[in-house]
Amino acid sequence: MNIAIDGPAGAGKSTIAKRVSKKLGYVYVDTGAMYRTMALYFLRNKIDGSDEAAVSASLDDVSVEIKYVDGEQKVLLNKEDVTGLIRTEEVGNMASATSKYSAVREKLLELQRDLARKMDVVMDGRDIGTTILPDAEVKIYLTASVDARGQRRYDELKARGVECDLEQIKKDIEDRDYRDMHREVSPLKQAADAYYLDSSDMDIDEVTEAIIQRIKER
């Protein structure tokens, strides 16, 4: 059984997917973390994210692996655990810029499908229901308004003691939405058979419950 959760940045996919996977005893697979891991490589090696040829040419030197420690997903970049290094805006922006290249997506496609073949997963991302797991038993498209998502990200960063500006965060979210939705390869969009959920005015428990309900109906 596989559950696909897609949606824009900051909609709460990872929080919700973690909750749902725990309740069901499934494995949570965060595909955004894989794109972020590659992005970290590009940043560290000063590869220009807008240069598709340079990005593609570097891919043979990048290995991304996933492991699970106490049920938590860890990402390895060339064998180094970089899980704690990929949650910055800089890495997120680089991931958004480079995830539009087909060579980058190709590289992660099999890794993602392979995980879903081996285990019951709740997988979140942008193209899970449309491209990676078109046969997923349950598909959710989870979104929220730019205001709601911006406020959540702002609160999250503040709580971690990171200085930030709400308007800038909202602008970044809009830009990233645009890039994710308008790229040629596997753009973010709701799969025809996905259940649409707008979490702007819902709390985490309500969203989790709505999804569990949906799964039970299947």
Which residues, numbered 92-121, are part of the site for ligand DC (CB under 6 A)? 92, 95-96, 99
- Cα angle value 99/104/109 (rounded, 5°): 100
Q: Which residue has the tokens 């960063």?
A: 157
Nearest CB to ligand DC, comparing residues 25 and 99: 99
- Nearest Cα to Cα of residue 128 among 19, 34, 25, 10: 34
Q: Which of 29, 149, 173, 180 binds ligand DC (CB under 6 A)?
A: 180
Nearest CB to ligand DC, comparing residues 26 and 177: 177
Helix (H) and strand (E) counts in the chain: 8, 8
Nearest CB to ligand DC, comparing residues 2 and 96: 96
> Could you say whether residue 32 binds ligand DC (CB under 6 A)?
yes
Nearest CB to ligand DC, comparing residues 17 and 215: 17
User: How far is 117 from 80, CA to CA, in rounded Å?
Assistant: 25
> Could you say whether residue 73 binds ligand DC (CB under 6 A)?
no
In the complex, the smallest distance separating the C-beta of residue 180 from ligand DC, rounded to whole angstroms, is 5
Q: Which of 18, 19, 126, 170 binds ligand DC (CB under 6 A)?
A: 126
> Could you say whether residue 153 binds ligand DC (CB under 6 A)?
no
User: How far is 212 from 214, CA to CA, in rounded Å?
Assistant: 5
Answer yes or no: are the C-beta atoms of 40 and 91 closer than 8 Å.
Answer: yes
**Within its chain, how far is the Cα of 80 from the centroid?**
20
In the complex, the smallest distance separating the C-beta of residue 120 from ligand DC, rounded to whole angstroms, is 19
User: How far is 211 from 205, CA to CA, in rounded Å?
Assistant: 10
Task: Give the gyration radius of the chain's Cα atoms.
Answer: 16
> Which range, of 19-27, 32-40, 47-55, 61-69, touches ligand DC by CB under 6 A?
32-40
Site residues, ligand DC (CB under 6 A)? 9, 31-32, 35-36, 92, 95-96, 99, 125-128, 176, 180
